[in-house]
Structure 1
Amino acid sequence: MGNEAHFATDLYQGTAGYYDRYRLPYPAAMLTHLVESAHLSGQGRLLDLACGTGQLAFPLSPHFAEVWAVDQEPDMVEVVRAKSAAEDGLRPIVAGAETLDAQPDYFELAVVGNAFHRLDRDLVARRLLHWLTPGGHLALCWSTSPWAGGEDWQRTLAATLKRWQQQLDAEHRVPESAGQARQHRPDPDVLAAAGFEIAGRHAFTVEHHWSLAELAGHIRSTSFLPPAVLRDRAEEFDADLAASLRPHSDSGIFTENVSFAYDLARKPA
């Protein structure tokens, strides 16, 4: 437990617009599979923890009577609030996962999208177990990033991002121990230690075609090269990104097989 990574709480400040526009949606097939696997009643409550701009809260909301969309970044929650104006039963809440106030046995399903590694995993796992109804489920949802693959253009993209992180002194915005903690204690081990029953991982692959503009926008939605870091060098970054990637595509389109997955766990009944 002592090697858990600690992330600053304001890393996504100013990214909400880019996050909402350029983060890829979870595939419908994955969400349908999750709904079926969680055996939802259609009348329960959903907790979307570290919700971003609602990438899980909104598509899952038709299956619930009440949805809490919770994030520690006010900008993210403000986007959720604006998008939820016509949504009955959706509550945008500014709070950290470690400090949220919720009743025990309240939620039928809790979801965390691309964020569990940023939380105090042991504490949050115990809190989630406490908040879920007996027999309720937790889904940790994930997707891969365009710079993480093995295609030539992806390796070039990764190298370009690393070079700019070094130039802008942004290398340490993401703790070096972030990956080590999960390798040492994978998320299912953390959930099992908290008292969850582990129900397995379900993976889905979607082909996506990125334009240069979409890649630039997606990068601005990250914690390591957000607008607050790029600042007055944003145009220079875009030009360098285009120059670096252009040799890999005559059309300016870059194809990625995006991996999505969710790890499902259950509170004992």
Structure 2
Amino acid sequence: MYVIGKSRANKSKRTVLKGAILIVLAVIAMSCEKRESSEILVDEAIYQDYLVSYDLSAKKTSAAASLRDKKGVRLELNRTGERILFNKKEPNQAKSLSSSLLGAFAAAITDYEYVWKVGQLIDGEFTYVKNKSRSFRNTISLKEIETIQIPVDFKEVKLDGSTVLKWEGASVGKKENVSISFVQKDNVNGGGTGTVSLEGAKELRLNGLLIKGLKKGKTTVILTRRKELTGIAQSDGKQNNGRRIVEVVVSKEIYVK
């Protein structure tokens, strides 16, 4: 039997780690890349990318949108007559998005160009006006996703990694995932994000890197159910040239022990 030497094994690990870091950096660079719409051909088909996030705890809605070229690069609309609207309203600045809508905020600053916030739970219609003669309307509704809740008796997370959160609501469905994260005051390095996408799953184990860095005391746990909906109704170019994502977010203050 051939045994890999210790130095060779360590070198292999470093190579894998370096590769993983490069992949992450490439994804970040791609999500940050954008160009002006005037740089592409007038008749190029535009990919419509929409997200609506419902904060069930705060009773607020956040929306985000990106229009993309054929390579997936985000477009800043700068041609005369071009517009993107949510419920007939112009977008807000990204910095004005409510920090309580953590899922949508993270998406808005990494992968979406335009954002909106609404102080109530409301169904949304995106309107992309490409030019004077062509516009596209697509909707996202709270009814298109199952709700989710943190149980009343879920009051603490243990640093020994033994805590299991069994949420209230449906199990993970097709094209869905459920994720959890923590926000702890004066502790920016506290906790990570855990996600389960296995269809039928109904719980999350709170251990490992997910809770690493948390300190004993109060923390806010944020639970998000995200779903990619089927196609878009009005598409530019080929059928379903776009995507619609909807998510519901709940949060609760608990204790770390």
TM range (shorter): under 0.3
Structure whose residues are more often helix by fraction: 1
Structure whose residues are more often strand by fraction: 2
Larger Rg: 2
Higher relative contact order (CA 8 A, sep 6+): 1
Alignment TM-score, normalising by the size of structure 2: 0.26
Alignment TM-score, normalising by the size of structure 1: 0.25
